[in-house]
């Protein structure tokens, strides 16, 4: 794992470089020489937070249109209530 440090100015001037570096490890972004933010790949973030995507999140993602998802139809038969 490679740790990269960029100033806020460097980040603003070359976002592509920061994104590429984040694939190799965390990118520390500094403000006035002090660490202020960390840029991570999405996979690293998920691993760090142990988040799992639920079905609703998966379907909300931009690539969801490529998913084959055909849930089975459910029929609910209502019955009248018996108040006797």
Tokens of 73: 């139809």
In this predicted structure, the answer to whether residue 32 has a pLDDT above a threshold of 90 is yes
- Arithmetic mean of pLDDT, 22-43: 94
Q: Is the pLDDT of residue 31 over 90?
A: yes
Give domain status of residue 64, yes or no.
no
- Give me the domain span that covers residue 31: 4-52
Residue 68 lies in a domain: no
* Sequence-separated (6 or more) residues with CB below 8 Å from residue 17: 6, 10
Assign residue 37 the CATH number of its domain: 3.40.1620.10
User: CA angle, 18 as apex, 16 and 23 as ends, to 5°?
Assistant: 100
Identify whether 19 is part of a domain. Answer: yes
Predicted confidence at residue 64, as pLDDT, reads 62
Task: Count structural domains, the chain.
Answer: 1
User: In the structure encoding, which two tokens stand for residue 21, read together?
Assistant: 């570096």
Query: Is the backbone of residue 18 left (phi > 0), alpha (psi -120 to 50) or beta?
Result: alpha
DSSP reduced 3-state for 48:
helix
Helix (H, G, I), strand (E, B) or coil at 36: strand
Question: Per the domain annotation, does 78 fall within a domain?
Answer: no
Is position 41 within any domain? yes
Res. 79: pLDDT tops 80: yes
Please tell me the pTM assigned to this model: 0.58
Pair 24, 4: CB distance under 8 Å: yes
Q: Domain for residue 67, yes or no?
A: no
């Amino acid at each position: 794992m490679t740790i990269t440090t960029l100033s806020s100015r460097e980040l603003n001037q070359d976002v592509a470089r920061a994104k590429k570096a984040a694939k190799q490890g965390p990118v520390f972004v500094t403000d006035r020489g002090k660490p202020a933010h960390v840029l991570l790949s999405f996979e690293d973030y998920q691993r760090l937070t142990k988040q799992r995507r639920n079905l609703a999140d998966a379907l909300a993602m931009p690539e969801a249109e490529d998913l084959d998802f055909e849930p089975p139809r459910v029929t609910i038969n209502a019955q009248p209530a018996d108040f006797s």
